[in-house]
Amino acid sequence: MAPNMLILASASPRREKLLGQIGVKPSLIIAANIEEIPEKAERPSDFAKRMAFAKALQVSISNQDRYILAADTVVAIGRTIIPKAETEDDVRDFIKRLGGRNHRVYGGICLIKPGGRVLQRLIETRVFMRRLSNDELSSYIAFGDWRGKAGGYAIQGRAAKYIKKISGSYSNVVGLDIYTTAKLLRGCGLVVG
């Protein structure tokens, strides 16, 4: 397959970097512009899959001769979705809720092939973040790498020192499960390094 056939439907530099780890360089990166709002009573896992599909579908409409790869990351406590943190109040609330308990990170992956065939995968990772003291939380908030991150943290950033354990894919928590993605791409004949 020609190397110029893959489009990454994401503006996330983390996803591009994760693809680079497996030797994949998309020919184009096109951020999908969709509303990321859960439907009433929608499960976090279903929301992750639906968002990945919606992103891929939007980009595929004008690129039907290419492979379109999209992903979405959803942090959840039970059936409650913890959204992206946009303000200091958001992150303070989210980290207090996540601290001292297990939560799940769902990664929806969608690959649309030329001709419209859709391949979807869902990855689940369990994460345990310890409780932060008020001073630790204030320091974490001041550092600022939580902005725009699902659940208010980036596991590859400052929050790493508060993560006691994970069960499942680390790269899923970063933004894209590279094992599953490599398997999907290889199955379609794309070269994975």
Tell me how far apart the alpha carbons of residues 148 and 78 are, in angstroms, rounded to a whole number. Answer: 21
In sequence order, the β-bridge partners of residue 71 are: 109
Helix ranges, 22-169 (H): 44-60, 88-98, 134-143
Instruction: Give the per-residue pLDDT at 11.
Output: 86
* Range 20-45 average pLDDT: 94
Report whether pLDDT(178) > 60: yes
Instruction: Give the per-residue pLDDT at 128.
Output: 98
Catalytic residue among 46, 72, 90, 93: 72
pLDDT confidence tier of residue 27, bands split at 50, 70 and 90: very high
Instruction: Give the per-residue pLDDT at 1.
Output: 43
CATH, range 3-187: 3.90.950.10
Q: How many helices (H) and strands (E) in the chain?
A: 6, 7
Average per-residue pLDDT in the chain? 94
| DSSP percent split of the chain into helix, strand, coil, nearest 5 | 35, 25, 40
Instruction: Give the per-residue pLDDT at 44.
Output: 98
Instruction: Give the per-residue pLDDT at 190.
Output: 85
Report whether pLDDT(104) > 70: yes
Q: How far is CA 104 from the centre of its chain?
A: 12
Whether residue 90 lies in the annotated active site: no
**Domain boundaries of the chain, sorted by first residue:** 3-187
Instruction: Give the per-residue pLDDT at 25.
Output: 93
Instruction: Give the per-residue pLDDT at 192.
Output: 78
Which residue type occupies 171? S
Report whether pLDDT(3) > 60: no
Tell me which of 131 and 192 has the higher pLDDT.
131
Nearest by Cα to 188 from 121, 90, 142: 121
Instruction: Give the per-residue pLDDT at 52.
Output: 98
pLDDT confidence tier of residue 189, bands split at 50, 70 and 90: confident
pLDDT, tens only, 50-103 = 999 999 999 999 999 999 999 999 999 999 999 999 999 999 999 999 999 999
